[in-house]
Amino acid sequence: MSLRVRLALSFACVALATAAAVALATPWIVGRGFARIEAAASAGAGAGPGPGAGQGGMGAGMHAQQVQQETIVALVAVALAAAGAASALGVVIAGRVVRPLDRLADAAASVADGDLSRRSGIAGRSDELGSLGRSFDAMAHELEDADASRRRLFQDAVHELKTPLAVIDATTSAVLDGVYDHDDRHLETIRDQSRLLARIVDDLRTIGLAEAGQLPLHLGTVAADESVAAVVRAFEARAAARGIGLRCDARSPLAVRADPDRLAQVLGALVDNAIRHAPAGSEVSVEVRERTPGRARFTVRDSGPGIAAEDLPRVFDRFYQADPARDRSTGTSGLGLAIVRALAGAQGGSAGVDRVVPHGAAFWVELPAIVDVRAS
């Protein structure tokens, strides 16, 4: 039963109890008063005519007035007693209503003080307070997850930045101490690590702006097949150097509403990821299809080692390492897939990954599709 109905019924019960108490007591009090008046009148009439008859009638009248006053006082006393009992009942009802609100207030204060694990304790109720408690618990859970994600991001960022900084420090120290000669290859190492640091910082900034909805975008109509063909041409040489075939499968005349440069960045990150994980002699395919009316899906498939089921929900997290042995020898920032998800969301789309049986993965990005003007 909803809280509103319960409160309405409670107030109605209090009012009915008060009215019932007064209604039940009134006939008895009034009847008792009339009986006393009648008894007094009978006593006056029994005195008969004579010198005391007038005094008896006057006494009976005074007695009737006194009985009337006593009756009124009794009715007021009953009404006050009923009101007091009803007020006590109201206090009990108010206490039962306020008690879960007090628990919620305590939980909110704890969350405000930093205890994000605190919950309302009223989520099991079936009324409006229970709904409020469940909403509060969901909010606290989201805050707890966000705080854990923030802490994890900070720790991962420190870890990822620490490696190139350590390489730069060690290389420069070795050169300055005479351990290494002053030749170009050591300077190239410092330059490469500095570029990696700059890329990590730029990628973090891009993700932050995209997730905050502040990333500048130049949205327009982009031919989906041309975007796929362009990214395949850009990565053909690299794929060939690793002995990997790169195939383009984009025959449908789809167009999407997107920023062409950001779309190329998204597709490039997915193809780059697939080439790095696909074994030599395998094939990576890039395709685009109309997933549902109004949605186009770009898919990059590889036949690499695949992704464990427990890793699927987190592969797009910043710096997430599905493979603990992963390093930065390839010059990647570890933020490529996180950028894919952030850029897809900024353009009104989404990103995901599917497992490919028996091995491999299919990373996809969905974007809003529009009518391709070339098809008309």
> Which of these three, 173, 191, 211, is where a domain ends?
211
Cα separation of 139 and 144, whole Å? 9
Are residues 25 and 92 both part of a single domain? yes
Q: Which pLDDT score is estimated for 171?
A: 87
By residue range, what is the domain housing residue 365? Answer: 220-375
Q: Which pLDDT score is estimated for 5?
A: 64
Are residues 189 and 307 both part of a single domain? no
Are residues 97 and 65 both part of a single domain? yes
Are residues 289 and 308 both part of a single domain? yes
pLDDT average, residue stretch 112-131 = 84
> Which of these three, 93, 112, 131, is where a domain ends?
112
Q: Which pLDDT score is estimated for 326?
A: 46
pLDDT average, residue stretch 6-24 = 69
Assigned domain for 123 exists: no
Assigned domain for 121 exists: no
Could you give the percent of the chain with pLDDT greater than 70?
Answer: 76
Assigned domain for 135 exists: no
Are residues 282 and 195 both part of a single domain? no
The residue written with tokens 């620490």 in the block is 162
pLDDT average, residue stretch 175-201 = 84
- Residue 300's nearest CA partner among 259, 246, 348 is 246
pLDDT average, residue stretch 152-163 = 73
Overall domain count for the chain: 3
pLDDT average, residue stretch 255-283 = 91
Are residues 189 and 278 both part of a single domain? no
Are residues 304 and 363 both part of a single domain? yes
Q: Which CATH number do you get for residue 325?
A: 3.30.565.10
Are residues 196 and 240 both part of a single domain? no
φ and ψ at residue 361, rounded to 5 degrees: -150, 155
pLDDT confidence of 61, banded at 50, 70, 90? Answer: low
Assigned domain for 357 exists: yes
Burial track 47-81 (b if 16+ CB lie within 10 A, e otherwise): eeeeeeeeebeeebeebbeebeeebeebbeebbee
pLDDT average, residue stretch 348-369 = 86
Assigned domain for 35 exists: yes
Reading the block at residue 282, the tokens are 């395998």
Q: Which of 91-105, 240-254, 297-311, 319-333 has the lowest mean pLDDT?
A: 319-333
Neighbouring CB atoms inside 10 A of 249's CB total 15
Across the chain, which distance is largest between two alpha carbons, in Å?
A: 148
Whether 365 contacts 297, CB under 8 Å: yes
Taking the CA of residue 78 as centre, how many other CA atoms within 13 Å lie in the half-sphere pointing to its CB? Answer: 20
Between these two residues, 280 and 319, which has the higher pLDDT value?
280
Q: Which pLDDT score is estimated for 97?
A: 73
- Residue 104's nearest CA partner among 85, 89, 123 is 123
Are residues 68 and 181 both part of a single domain? no
- What contacts 286, CB < 8 A, 6 or more positions away? 228, 231, 232, 246, 247, 248, 249, 250, 267, 270, 271, 298, 299, 300
pLDDT at 54 exceeding the cut of 70: no
Q: Which CATH number do you get for residue 176?
A: 1.10.287
pLDDT at 341 exceeding the cut of 80: yes
> Which of these three, 63, 94, 112, is where a domain ends?
112
Reading the block at residue 340, the tokens are 């894919």
Are residues 188 and 232 both part of a single domain? no
In this structure, the dihedral spanned by the alpha carbons of residues 199, 203, 205 and 206, taken in order and rounded to 10 degrees, is 130
Between these two residues, 200 and 90, which has the higher pLDDT value?
200
Could you give the percent of the chain with pLDDT greater than 90?
Answer: 20
Assigned domain for 120 exists: no
Assigned domain for 352 exists: yes
Highest mean pLDDT among 71-80, 111-120, 265-274: 265-274
Q: Do the bridges between strand 350-355 and strand 295-302 make them parallel or antiparallel, or are there none, so unpaired?
A: unpaired
Q: Which of 73-77, 286-290, 319-323, 335-339 has the lowest mean pLDDT?
A: 319-323
Are residues 226 and 359 both part of a single domain? yes
pLDDT confidence of 188, banded at 50, 70, 90? Answer: confident
Are residues 249 and 335 both part of a single domain? yes
